Structure 1
Amino acid sequence: MDTKIKILDELSLSNVIDKEAELIPLMTEEDEERLNAEEMPNTLAILPLRNTVLFPGVVIPITVGRDKSIKLIKEANDGSKIIGVVAQKDAQVEDPQVDDLNVTGTVAKILRVFRMPDGNTTVIIQGQKRFDIQEFTQEEPYFKAVVSSFHETKPSKGDKEFAALVESVKDVALQIIKDSPNIPSEASFAIKNIESDSFW
C-alpha cells in the first residue's frame, strides 16, 4: 500500500469516531423549529473557515490550525459550546481581518474535539441557524461580533416548483456521485433518503 494512502487512512476521522463509538445527532424538522424559536446569543465568538460553508442542520468536521482558532475552540468547548462560523472571502488569506470575512454565517454547536495523531485539532460542529454580523467587537485573541438572526424565506409546503427543483438537484448530485470514484456509494443512499427541506 502506498505510504501516503496508509497514513491518510490511519488519520481518517472515521477511525477516530469508530473508536469513540458515539453517534453524532442530526437535526430533525422539529429540532430546527425549536432552535429557530430559541433566543440566539447577542454576541458570538466568530470562527473563520476556508473553502467551507456550514449550513443549518449539517454536521461537518473541520481542522483548526491557527492559534486564534485553537484558542477560540478551547474556550468555547469549555463553556457554552456555541460559536459563530463564517466563510472567508478568499481562502488563500492566512490571517483574515474583518474585511476578509463574509457577514452572514451560521451558529454552530461544538459536538466533539479531537487531537489528531499529526498534531492538528479536528472539531465536529453542527450548524444550527443563520445570523448576520452587525459589528465586530473584538479581533484579539479571536473575533467576536454582535449578531442578529437572519430572516430566511422558505417555500410553502407542497410548492410544486420547489419540489421539482429539489428532484433536479438530487439527480445532479447522484450523477456526480456515480461519476466520482472518490465519493463512497453510500452517499447516493443518503441523497435518495433526504426528505427534510432543511437540507435543500
Structure 2
Amino acid sequence: MEGRRDRKKRQTRERIQAAALELFTSNGYRNTTIAAIAEHADVATRTVTLHFPTKEDLLFADDPFDPDSLAARLAPRPGDTLDAVGDWMRDTMRALDEHDAEQGREPGEIWSLRTKRAALIADDEDLRARARASYYELERLIAAAIGKDLGLPPDALAPRLTAYAVVGGLRELYTTREARHREDLPALVDRVLHFARAGLAQLTTDPGKPSSP
C-alpha cells in the first residue's frame, strides 16, 4: 500500500513532469528553464531539481516501459520471448490506463502525453541520444532471451536483428499514422510482434542461405 508521504511525493513528481511537458511542447525543450517549470508547477525551483537532477530527467524518469520492468517479465518466461514482450506491453498499458482513471484524467490522456514526449525526443539530438541508450538496454534483454529460446548466443544475428525490430517498431507506435487512438495500440503491438516473428522465422530457417529476391 502506498503511504501518504509516498503518494504526495509521486503526485508532486507527476505535476512537475506534466508542467514540464506542457512548457516543452509550447515553448521548446531548449527554451524552457527549470525556473519556468517550477513556477508552472507551483513548486520551488529546488523541488524540481531534487526530483529531477537534470532537465532531461523530466522526460526520461519514471518511464513504465523501462529495462527493469521488462527484465522482471522476461526472467520467468512461461512462454516464448515475443509472447512475453507482448504481455509486458499490454499489462503496462493497462496499468497506465488504470492510473489515469484513478487520477480522474480523461481516457487516453496518458497516450496523448506520451505522443508529445516522443515528438520532443525525436526533434532534439541530445534527447535522441539518451533515448537510444535506453532502447539499447531493451534490445539487449530481448536478444538475450530470444537467444536462450533458440539456443543461440545473444549477439548472433537472429536474436539481435529481431530485438532491434521489436524495439524499433514499438518505439515508433506513438508517431505512426495508424496510432490515432489509444484503442488502436494493442492491435499495432501485435502487428509489430508478428513482423518480428516472421523475420525471426526467416532468419532461422536456413541461416546460411540468403533470401530470394
Normalization by structure 1: what TM-score? 0.25
Rg larger in 1 or in 2?
Answer: 2
Which structure has more relative contact order (CA 8 Å, sep 6+)? It is: 1
Which is helix-richer, 1 or 2? 2
Normalization by structure 2: what TM-score? 0.24
